[in-house]
Chain A
Amino acid sequence: DIQMTQSPSSLSASVGDRVTITCRASQGMSNYLAWYQQKPGKVPKLLIYAASPLQSGVPSRFSGSGSGTDFTLTISSLQPEDVATYYCQKYNSAPSITFGQGTRLEIK
């Protein structure tokens, strides 16, 4: 099974910073890669699917890229409401539907 590893596990950045989170697959995969945002005490929210398209309603400061084994989630200008844990996920592969371990993002 393909394993998904995110880095860093946590990070602290200032409002307005550009933030990048990486998700690495243990072997090459198709672009069925999603990113979710989970704010403290809340339900996960789909941000990005198929590695780069934004889900409807997601602010344009979020973007996704990558292919093969390396994928990234970028926030172009960090906002206070972006404090959350972010998860990458490999999908389209039941029963091998796999999440990364999460990246906790805080404001410095």
Chain B
Amino acid sequence: QVQLVESGGGVVQPGRSLRLSCAASGFIFRSYGMHWVRQAPGRGLEWVAVISYDGSNEYYADSVKGRFTISRNNPKNTLYLQMNSLRAEDTAVYYCAKDALGGMGGLFDYWGQGTLVTVSS
């Protein structure tokens, strides 16, 4: 069965960096676009970034553009999110999500359990 397991969250000071990972299994990882979606405490869902199946294309939400970088290692079945210049408003649970259609369209059929990032001094 499909499994997505995020790691790397924690408490970080404003302005610092953090790298999230998402280990995928149960499907052909190299064939699917992958996304990061976040949810601030008590708030709704916000799409963050997407990477194509082969890593050749990426898109970002305006709120993280220039600060966050999505990447993937297909032989290791792992998705990453490098987060730089973190702000208090980046505090959220970060989910990795599989694109149901294989591309970058953003229909999410599987989600990880999420990893909490807290940006605080």
Which residues on A are within 8 Å of B, measured CB to CB?
A: 32, 34, 36, 38, 43-46, 49, 55, 85, 87, 89, 91-95, 97-102
Main secondary structure of the interface of A (DSSP, over half): loop
Complex contacts, A85 vs chain B, CB 8 Å: 44
Q: Which 3 A-B pairs have the closest CB atoms?
A: A97-B106, A95-B59, A92-B105
Alpha-carbon separation in the docked complex, A44 to B44 (Å): 11
Of the candidates B35, B46, B95, the one whose C-beta lies within 8 Å of that of A99 is B46
Contact of A87 among B44, B107, B109, B112 (CB under 8 A): B44
Residues of chain A within 8 A (CB-CB) of B109 are 46, 55
Q: Give Cα distance in the complex from A70 to B111, angstroms.
A: 27
Q: Closest CB of chain A to B51's CB: distance in Å?
A: 10
A43 and B45 contacting across the interface, CB-CB below 8 Å: no
In the docked arrangement, what's the CA distance between A38 and B108, Å?
A: 13
Question: Quick one: which of A46, A98, A101 contacts B107, CB cutoff 8 A?
Answer: A46
Count of B residues near A, CB < 8 Å?
Answer: 23
From B45, B50, B100, B108, contact of A94 by CB (8 A): B50
Instruction: Please give the residue numbers on chain B whose beta carbons come within 8 Å of chain A beta carbons, in ascending order.
Output: 35, 44-47, 50, 59-62, 95, 100-101, 104-109, 111-114
Which chain A residue shows the least CB distance to B65?
A95
Measured CB to CB, the closest approach of chain B to A107, in angstroms, equals: 20
Pairwise interchain contact B106-A101, C-beta atoms closer than 8 A: no
Check B47–A99 contact: CB distance below 8 A.
yes
Give CA–CA (A102, B42) in the complex, Å.
Answer: 11
Contact across chains for A49 and B100 when beta carbons are under 8 A apart: yes
Q: How far is the CB of A78 from chain B (nearest CB, A)?
A: 22
CA distance A32 to B101 in the complex (A): 12
Bound form: Cα–Cα A49–B112 in Å? 19
16 interchain pairs (CB within 8 A)?
A: A34-B107, A43-B113, A44-B95, A44-B108, A46-B107, A85-B44, A91-B107, A93-B106, A94-B50, A94-B59, A95-B50, A95-B62, A97-B47, A99-B46, A99-B47, A102-B44
